[in-house]
Chains A and B, each alone.
Chain A
Amino acid sequence: MTNHWIDIKNTDCALIMGSNAAEHHPICFKWVLKAKEERGAKIVHVDPKFSRTSARSDFHVPLRSGTDIPFLGGMIKYIIEKKKYFKEYVTEYTNASFIVNKKFAFKNGLFSGFNAKEKKYDKSSWKFDLDGKGVPKKDKTLKDSRCVFQLLKKHYDRYDLNKVSSITGVPKKEILRVYELFAATGSPKKAGTIMYALGWTQHTVGVQNIRASAIIQLLLGNIGIAGGGINALRGEPNVQGSTDHCILYHILPGYLGLPRANWPKLDDYLKANTPVSNDPASANWWQHKPKYMVSLLKGWFGDAATKENGFGYDWLPKGDKGGDYSYLWLFDKMYKGKIKGGSIWATNPAQSVPNSNKVRKAMENLDWLSMAEIHHNETTDFWHRPGADPKKIKTEVFLLPSCHRVEKEGSVSNSGRWLLWHHKATPPQGKSKSMGEIIVEIMNKVRSLYREQSGVFAEPILNLDWPNYYNAENMAKKINGYYTAGPKKGQQVPSFGALKDDGSTVCLNWLYAGSYTEEAGNKAKRRDYTQTPMQAKIGLYPKFSWNWPVNRRILYNRLSVDKNGRPWDPARTVIKWNGTKWEGDVPDGGWPPLATGKGRYPFIMRKEGHGQLFGPGRAEGPFPEHYEPIETPVKKHPFSKQLNNPCAKIMDSDADMRAKPADPRYPIVLTTYSLTEHWCGGGETRNVPWLLEAEPQLYVEMSPELAKEKGIKNGEVVAVESARGRVEAVAMVTIRIRPFKILGKTVHEIGMPFFAGWTTPGVGDATNRLCIAAGDPNTTIPEFKACCVNIKKATSITELA
């Protein structure tokens, strides 16, 4: 989230799209209701099905899964044509005025530089023209035909109401109703927030869905202000923190890129990854990256990290240039027998990865597997799943009991980036242990083996700065970082400003520097409710816990003020310049306002310092363009001849069968989702009797029209089939699902949760057996939200028996 949960109460209009907030983040909805009741805010829910969120919104607009970009693209067109954008904000704070290279073009659904063979773009034309000093050329009148604003206008000119309506299935009147309401927040004294979740990310155009929303929020001046922002409602218990610490193949803690084979030495890595800006008014914060990287390496390898060995960079694994090592590719390689062993900790891929039949089969190819879990689940017990013969499965399985959170202490980060400490109530039950203890003990065993036996490339293992036992408090200190040399040796660093690239500081995550300091100790434990009246007004608690970065509660907050540091809306002040210093939230850098001549542009993390209406960093283009899901009920769409995302990552093994576009065998769109009573794949909540009592079995929500067409009655068991699998579910025939009119034809959509798994008898089994293993080209997040299926009354019932 750019903002935080409480801040939602400050909004005038909440567009909830790609999220079912009331069901998946139930507690946050009180702040939505507060905005509605106390400010008269409008709450709009755009989503394929009418859910508990829709029930409490002002109105609900159903749209076909996978058509968010047309809907949002139409809104961009509306905002520009009706001049609803916040002109000063757009001109000064975004790259609207930047002049784009004349070779940049868009034609037939493709941007310039596409290489069809590699499914990749050569992005050399996606750049700005620079002046003599190397600074982007600008036209602040926004009239130059090559400026970003004009290119944006031209790009979305095609997204007219007729086309948008025909492909999304939303009647024009409903589309306009949303556009009018939300575009009204373009006034400087209005705030609009966008709340999204996996409904946007889990598409082959997931990143571009969010890019489209970013463009809208930048045009309307909604970023950086109270009640505004783009708020990713993060769904897992510490997914914010685990992402910040980058349990992900492509990044190291603090969002530092993975070393790649084409950067053999630390200097190569730093040179390639540290942006240089020639504009003195751009903070270009990532210029400090070398300090963060070296402090991380120093934390990992301690005294063994020296300038000569690149502080241990030489020992790190390097990915191939462009290599993708994510879930989808991992299971693809595993299926093909190329993976021998590994660990799966507190995640249930046999249940939660698309095309689960392939995943389950792939696991049989492993020689060994270690798992840390709190319950048996479909992954731990894959070797005796229905239809499998254990006597033919070679995998050696180590199942390690991990304790409940209440039995350990440590910190987690909420979706608004608050760092929160949880305390230990009791010792771990039975012989269970925390995952921290488990990894420390495993590595100590591995280290002993490498000391005792000869081994390959033992340096990184033996040179680790590694604890003898796990202690959360000590790790929290190390994450914050400390000095390793000089007069303050051994002391905690006060913030990332103190980090150095010479090995004199340690910091396991620069974003968290400042969370555990000499003077204040562990700030995750703070429970101080002190606020200034200005902070109280917007629900900001600067001393409760701590917030990364540097306790900043609303990101990009320099956008909430004009060039003189005056808030656009004094009634909702986030920060303001009092002539000598900033008041309110911690500003994005302490520089004075821009008008003083000593300020910095507000987007301090961007090289040019401006919000990116034109975003050249993305794989499939600088502007979001509509592409259909990989499995789609249509053969064409009205925006171009390019049906699917040209750069999508699609698995292609013999287990990855696909429906053709508009395949008559699979005419129905399936979308999948979670629900309040179960959590994700259900591995934990299915073992809680009250939750299972409330939601006992897998169901499929469908319209009465479809039910009638298929002769299905409410409560009957049906079989849902895709090209990849068959799943049994109870039919929930409901008026909350409506058929869509797409390009003049009726298209049915159905929806299923994915909490059911065979280890809980009679509940059903993985919905993801139906889903397609195709990923977004930027993130490789799979397209869980749209694939094509068929349904029929089940003739034999096994999974729900």
Chain B
Amino acid sequence: MSKAFFIDTSRCTACRGCQVACKEWHELPATKTRQRGTHQNPVDLNPYTYKLVRFREHKVNDTVKWNFFPDQCRHCLEAPCKDVADNYVKGAVVRDEETGAIIYTELTKQLPNKAFEEMRSDCPYDIPRRHDGTGLIVKCDMCIDRVSNGLLPMCVKTCPSGAMNFGARKEMLNMANKRLAVLKREYPKAQLVDEDDVNVIYLITEKPEFYHDFVLAQGFGAITRKAALAKLVSPVKAQLRPLQNLFA
């Protein structure tokens, strides 16, 4: 039985314990950042940041909404990045049968840049990043060393608010659906994100674009994100533009 995360954004306080704990466990260095007029830092996922809390704010009927989205790899059941990598170097991206974790191995160094670009554009959530120096392609590894030893992934263990949860997929789905039912009463737009296709199940209470550009996989499973975005380009971009300006 594969494992899954349930990430309840309605409970997230953006304390960023998960972001930092991930770096601690993986011994990842900090990158040089600057204050750009938002709390979100680093700007985006990068080769040294596998987990990033995203911040987005907007007003609804003169009420301020501030959304936090602890972003990470979703460990897709059918991972497009693995499909791409398999075409180039077998074993560069593997799926661990026991946990369902999608793991990038040392062989990702051998993937040509073209393959990386394909992996990134095919990822419905824009997750993979490549390290310039070593050529490694990196992302969340589900703390598979910990999980295999019966420990929780570091981000889940560290989370104080109950936003991050981890366990058997069935159990997580159950938890997610129960919580969704409760939240639906107050937030009619509440939804689980792509829960049938991924092992990292997010619960959001507002429109996806009020959190982050890549919350939802558009046309996931059939077409790539690029294609999906191209198809939906006008409405999506129209909604995104004002938000992006706020955080420019």
Contact = CB atoms under 8 A, between A and B. Distances in A.
Contact of B57 (A56, A692, A736): A736
Counting contact residues on chain A (CB < 8 A from B), the size range is: 35 or more
B16 interface: yes
B64 A715 contact: no
Interface residues of B, number: 38
Interface in A23-51: 23, 26-27, 29-30, 33, 37, 50
Nearest to B63: A59
A793 interface: no
Interface in A712-756: 714-716, 730-736
B66 A736 contact: yes
B30 interface: yes
B13 A693 contact: no
Interface stretch (B36-44, B117-125, B168-176, B231-239): B36-44
Contact of A690 (B20, B39, B63, B65): B20
B16 A677 contact: yes
B19 A22 contact: no
A425 to B, nearest CB: 16
A29 B34 contact: no
A699 B248 CA distance: 16
Contact of A714 (B33, B37, B162, B182): B37
B59 to A, nearest CB: 6
Contacts of A30: 160-162
Contacts, number: 107
Contacts of A282: none
B66 A55 contact: yes
A775 to B, nearest CB: 31
> Which residue, B11, B19, B161, has most C-beta atoms of chain A within 10 A?
B161
A33 B66 contact: no
A696 B20 contact: no
Contacts of A694: 16, 19-20, 33, 41
Which of A37, A52, A693, A697 has the most chain B CB atoms inside 10 A of its CB? A693
Contacts of B13: 22-23, 26, 29, 52-53, 55-56
A50 B57 CA distance: 11
A160 interface: no
B146 to A, nearest CB: 19
Contacts of A50: 64, 66
Interface in A251-272: none
B35 A698 contact: yes
A277 interface: no
A734 B55 CA distance: 12
A689 B30 contact: yes
Interface in A285-314: none
Contacts of B29: 689
Contacts of A59: 63
B183 to A, nearest CB: 10
Contacts of A735: 57-59, 64
A732 B38 contact: yes
A52 B14 CA distance: 7
Given A694-B41, A697-B35, 12 more contacts: A26-B13, A26-B161, A54-B64, A677-B16, A690-B24, A692-B30, A693-B31, A693-B41, A694-B19, A695-B35, A714-B37, A714-B38
24 contacts: A26-B160, A50-B64, A50-B66, A52-B13, A52-B14, A52-B68, A55-B67, A56-B11, A56-B13, A59-B63, A676-B14, A690-B30, A693-B42, A694-B20, A714-B37, A714-B38, A715-B36, A716-B37, A730-B35, A730-B36, A731-B37, A732-B39, A735-B59, A736-B64
